[in-house]
Structure 1
């Protein structure tokens, strides 16, 4: 390796931090949530629930337009629930799923840029 690559960069000073970076524990937790969101079917299910009044939907309504069996859809909903993105409630013979707004806000804060967006999200 040439000496020029090993030489310190002159006039290199670190930029000031405007917020704390993620801790190892927080990064691990968020990675699990992003892993749950990495499947297109789960993204569609989450979007379908979020687009309904009260951000809530019956499992019977979520099957419409998704070419999967009910057990497979239920599995994807369980993954989203285990990741903390959804809650569920049984009503008679149906299960209703609801978005967890605080978890979506947390994801938004992590992804927000400091150019004013993050400050607005935290407010």
Structure 2
């Protein structure tokens, strides 16, 4: 057996050993990516910060447009993404929607990478 064959058999024996750690399922990866995508936008980070900082624990969409300098449809779009990612809760009251943090959502988001 020449040195190339020895090297080949050594590489083949060690490169295909299954990992002891389970990989993320496609569904888990999709859910984590949804949160990361939601957090990847500066306007959405600011929205989370504003909702969290409100003394009442919730913010009306009507109060979030001016500080961002964005129109109501754009702010509503960003808020929808944060709701879909499980970071904010939306409650409709009359013509306005009020947003609050989902309890524990920021802590879960912070732990997503650690859980990989």
| TM-score, structure 1 normalization | 0.67
**What secondary structure is seen at the aligned counterpart in 2 of 1:35?**
helix
User: Hey, what's the Cα distance between the residues in 2 that align with 1:93 and 1:27?
Assistant: 36
**What secondary structure is seen at the aligned counterpart in 2 of 1:55?**
coil
Q: 1:1-123 counterparts in 2 under 5 A? A: 23-24=24-25, 25-111=27-113
**What secondary structure is seen at the aligned counterpart in 1 of 2:68?**
coil
**What secondary structure is seen at the aligned counterpart in 1 of 2:31?**
helix
Deviations along 1:31-59, whole A, 9 cap, x unmatched? 11110111111111111101112431111
The RMSD of aligned alpha carbons is 2.4
Gaps spanning 5+ residues in structure 2: where?
A: 12-19
User: Hey, what's the Cα distance between the residues in 2 that align with 1:21 and 1:59?
Assistant: 41
User: Hey, what's the Cα distance between the residues in 2 that align with 1:68 and 1:22?
Assistant: 40
Moved beyond 6 Å, runs of 4+:
none
| TM-score, structure 2 normalization | 0.71
